[in-house]
Structure 1
Amino acid sequence: MDLAEDKTEQLRKIYADNKFVNYLDMKIEEVTSGYAKMSMYVDYEKHTNLHRALHGGGLISLADTAMGIACVSTGKKVVTLAMTTNFISVIEAGETAIATAKIIHQGRRTIVAEGIVENLEGKLIGKLQATFFVIGEISLD
């Protein structure tokens, strides 16, 4: 990774006061321009469904946040317009979900990103694609 491109600390500062991200215990692991990696320990008391597995809403929240951060890393302020999710497998309470996201199209008004959620061993849990609407600029300084 090119250290000049590393935006991890900048994005951690921007998201430090995001109540939803903090409530779900999402962690920003790595950010470069157009790419983000996040993690979330699957807490039985907070993140699971009736089967002790990560709730679909938790998976979507983690991936949506990672894809949004990938967009923000380009200096764009965005909101999610649409998202498609494929649930592939489950991740149990006590495991860690890893979401990686990258921009696959960047226009002036919309950005399309794809996200993958895996466990620590690389088992595919979900695959997502989202379209974001650009609502402004954001300073990364």
Structure 2
Amino acid sequence: MKEAILERVSRDPYARFLGIEIDHVGEGAATVSMTITENMMNFHGAANGGVLFSLADVAFAIASNSYGQTAVGINVNMNYMRAGMLGDRIIATAKEESKNPKLGLYRMMVNNEAGELLATADGMVYRKKEIFA
């Protein structure tokens, strides 16, 4: 199953565009990372919040689809704690908190390489009947 989700995610054009790398995939869990580049900065001189959200969202997608059953996001709530800065390597982890046949709840954490917490998010998926692995 891990190979199936890795193969699907490796075809994700948006994740590739951002330079997101998959560091770990497990049942209901994932870790991904990327480096903040100049074109990801906002007018405050910090990483745009959408960059942190996108990284967390990719981790969320991988973790929730890790069972080989199509899971689609239906809600995400993001909390920003600290700014990401130019050149920072940022890491997002997603971990399953609750799962039933139709819904899954996931917690995402985004940290920089120094271990400082940049953002947290909670996301819910709806599990479709489609099996891809």
TM-score, structure 2 length as denominator? 0.92
Aligned length: 133
- Whether the 8 Å CA contact 2:79–2:119 is kept in 1: the answer is yes
Aligned to 1:90: 83
Residues 76 and 120 from structure 1, CA distance in 2 versus in 1: closer, same or farther, beyond 3 angstroms? same
Aligned to 2:55: 62
Higher mean C-alpha displacement, 75-84 vs 28-37:
75-84
Aligned to 2:9: 15
The gaps in structure 2 that reach 5 residues or longer are none
Aligned to 1:124: 117
The answer to whether structure 1 residue 32 and structure 2 residue 26 are counterparts is yes
- Whether the 8 Å CA contact 2:36–2:86 is kept in 1: the answer is yes
Give 3-state SS (helix, strand or coil) of 1:90's partner.
coil
Q: CA RMSD in A?
A: 1.5
Deviations 1:6-42 (A, max 9, x none): 93x5433221211111111111111111110000110
Deviations 1:59-87 (A, max 9, x none): 11110110110011122211111111110
| Deviant stretches of 4+, over 4 Å | none
The answer to whether structure 1 residue 51 and structure 2 residue 44 are counterparts is yes
Aligned to 1:78: 71
AA in 1 matched with 2:19: D
Give 3-state SS (helix, strand or coil) of 1:64's partner.
helix
Give the fraction of aligned pairs with identical amino acids, expressed as a percent.
29
Give 3-state SS (helix, strand or coil) of 1:52's partner.
coil
- Whether the 8 Å CA contact 1:72–1:138 is kept in 2: the answer is no
- Whether the 8 Å CA contact 1:44–1:52 is kept in 2: the answer is no
**Inter-partner Cα distance in structure 2 for 1:138 and 1:13:** 14
